[in-house]
Amino acid sequence: MIAKSLKSPTGSREMDPGIWSKLPPELLEHILSFLPLKTFLNLRSTCKHFKSLVFTPSFMSKYSSGFPFSSFLLLSHPQCYSQFPLYDTILGAWRNLALPFSFLPPCAAQFNLLSSSKGLFCFSLPNSCSFLVCNLLAKSSRVIKFPFFPFSFELLTLVSKPDGYKIFMLCSKFSSNYVFVYDSMVHSWRRYDGFQPLLIENFHQEGASFHGSLYFTTPEPFSVACFDLENGKWEKLNTEMPGELTFVRLVSDIDEGKLYMIGGIGRNGISRSMRLWELGKGGNWKEVERLPELMCRKFVCLLPQL
């Protein structure tokens, strides 16, 4: 009798590099997004591409979507360092999260959260006249010095991109305001002309990132202006705004490529209704939702107490 060694068809086989090396990047990222967090972090040491994925907004968006805790609201207060209340939109509950900042430089003993984008956080460091951008998942950070000192700024917005990030802000130190943009790819600041109506009254708003530009609303009469992050040019959006607006705020869905406007409808500064509009392909605002009247009344009553 001749004994033959048979391999089970379900046994382990070596993967053909010729096949796996030709996988489209989108498919490979989709496969990696199913890995447990600890396994993926260990995998980063195997090649430069896997290591860079943790800095890629598109991959982090796919990765976080596979977990129940994928969407949350984060609040910050200047006097509460490293403690950030989080509202879990899945569970409908608040959490107190102490973020692990042990990897940060010594100059980050005190910091204020200014903006966030796709898992990146931008803080101000009052004691060192600089900003701090950090990726909590990768436990990496970078200190960015102010363009000059003293430096006062408004409308700071952090924009995360596949190849890095940019920081936008307005500076009113000069007789005419200027825009300063930091580009992480070249590690430097660039200065552009500002847009006067955006200052003073609306300095609490951030820009809404949409199709490579940041969109802002101006004070009354309300209008929309956008700043192109690539060429540094301003443009006023030629669109008709809804009537009887009492306030407006822009917000964007980067993944879906949509720009929304939240606003109040009423007279004499009193909102009788709150609505949500989406910017259509023709540049017109299309109403998609409105807050129930009873909820709107309760919300407006609470505004003076906030």
What's the pLDDT at 232?
A: 93
Tens-digit pLDDT profile for residues 222-252? 899 999 999 999 999 888 999 889 889 999 9
Of the two residues 16 and 100, the one the predictor is more confident about is: 16
What confidence category does residue 3 fall into, taking pLDDT thresholds of 50, 70 and 90? very low
Is the pLDDT score of 254 beyond 70? yes
What confidence category does residue 200 fall into, taking pLDDT thresholds of 50, 70 and 90? very low
Mean pLDDT over 51-77 rounds to 63
Mean pLDDT over 16-40 rounds to 75
Partner residues linked to 263 by β-bridges: 248, 275
Smallest CA-to-CA distance from 134 within 149, 151, 115 is with 115
What's the pLDDT at 7?
A: 43
Highest average pLDDT, of 32-41, 141-150, 290-299, comes from: 141-150
Residue partners of 291: CB distance under 8 A and separation at least 6: 273, 274, 275, 299
> Distance of CA 2 to CAs 9, 41, 226, Å?
21, 49, 80
Highest average pLDDT, of 70-79, 83-92, 280-289, comes from: 280-289
> Distance of CA 236 to CAs 210, 215, 242, 246, 251, Å?
14, 9, 16, 20, 17
What confidence category does residue 290 fall into, taking pLDDT thresholds of 50, 70 and 90? confident
Phi, psi of 297, rounded to the nearest 5 degrees = -65, -45
Q: Is the Cβ–Cβ distance between 89 and 32 less than 8 Å?
A: no
Is the pLDDT score of 87 beyond 70? yes
Give percent of the chain with pLDDT exceeding 70: 73
What confidence category does residue 125 fall into, taking pLDDT thresholds of 50, 70 and 90? confident
Of the two residues 170 and 72, the one the predictor is more confident about is: 170
What's the pLDDT at 128?
A: 81
Q: What is the DSSP letter of 207?
A: P
What's the pLDDT at 155?
A: 85
